[in-house]
Amino acid sequence: MGCRKSTCTWAQNLKVGAEYRQYTVQLVRQIGCFCEEYRIYVNGEEMEQHGLKYNPCAPLCCAGGEFEWQQDGHSFMLMYNSLSWTNFSGGFRLFIDGIDVNTGRELSAFWRRRGWQIVFAGLMCLLIGIALALTYYYALSGRESYSLDYFAYFMISAGLFDILWGLIAVIKYRKPHHPSVTVEYKSSNAV
């Protein structure tokens, strides 16, 4: 079926009752040319029924691209990160009780930060495109500037698109997604 296979693994110690228990969540992606298939494992056991579907713009638009479940009093959410710089190799994030396992940020704070990063990158592309367009217009004239103009206009368009894409995340996640939850985490790297 696929062109390649990718695996993402997260491990986190969570308090269950009076003791800590380690949870390992593994996402196996079979990436095809036009679709993806997913297998989710929690502590080595495959979840047979999950609603994770491919959606390249999740969670900013349309449904899909995320899957939530409850286990031992904790809320787990596996979500596609459409604003990732490394979508091809990763792209998925695990949130436990509304907190990103990788960064420790709350869901809304995570997406707002990602949105502002994309807005900043868009502003840089926009400024570079404007500078190039003005340089080509005033410094070069004639046939040699046409192909360079296209590159400048491409940078301007890419910048505007990134600004819009980032602002969608900032606006959509301006308020907390989950209610405030106090969760005690214990690092698995502690000595």
Cross-strand pairs, 25: 10, 42
pLDDT the model gives residue 188: 57
Nearest 5°: phi and psi at 69?
-155, 160
Contacting residues for 75 by C-beta, under 8 A, at least 6 apart: 68, 69, 96, 97, 98, 178
- Helix or strand (DSSP H, E) at 7: strand 4-16
Give the pLDDT score at 89: 46
Residues with Cβ within 8 Å of 115's Cβ and at least 6 positions away in sequence, in order, are: 83, 166, 167, 168, 169, 170, 173
Q: How many residues would you count in the chain?
A: 191
The single-letter DSSP state of residue 106 is B
Top pLDDT among 148 and 22 is at 22
**Are the C-beta atoms of 97 and 69 separated by less than 8 Å?**
no
Which has the higher per-residue pLDDT, 58 or 25? Answer: 25
As a whole number of angstroms, the distance between CA 41 and CA 67 comes to 13
Percent of the chain surpassing pLDDT 90: 19
Q: Using CA atoms, how far apart are residues 41 and 35, in angstroms rounded to an integer?
A: 20
Instruction: Provide the mean pLDDT of the chain.
Output: 81
Residue 19 is predicted with a pLDDT of: 86
Q: In the prediction, which pLDDT does 85 show?
A: 66
What is the structure's pLDDT at 178?
Answer: 53
Confidence at 189, pLDDT banded by 50, 70, 90:
low
Number of helices and strands in the chain (H, E)? 2, 9
CA distance 47 to 26: 10
In which residue are the tokens 């994309």 written? Answer: 118
Give pLDDT tens digits for 47-91: 887 877 777 666 667 666 788 889 888 999 888 877 776 655 457
Residue type, 21: R
Between CA 48 and CA 53 the distance in angstroms is 14
Q: Which range, 53-67, 97-111, 167-181, is most confident?
A: 97-111
Owner of token pair 């980032």: 166
Global confidence as pTM: 0.74
Most confident of the ranges 35-49, 60-74, 169-183 = 35-49
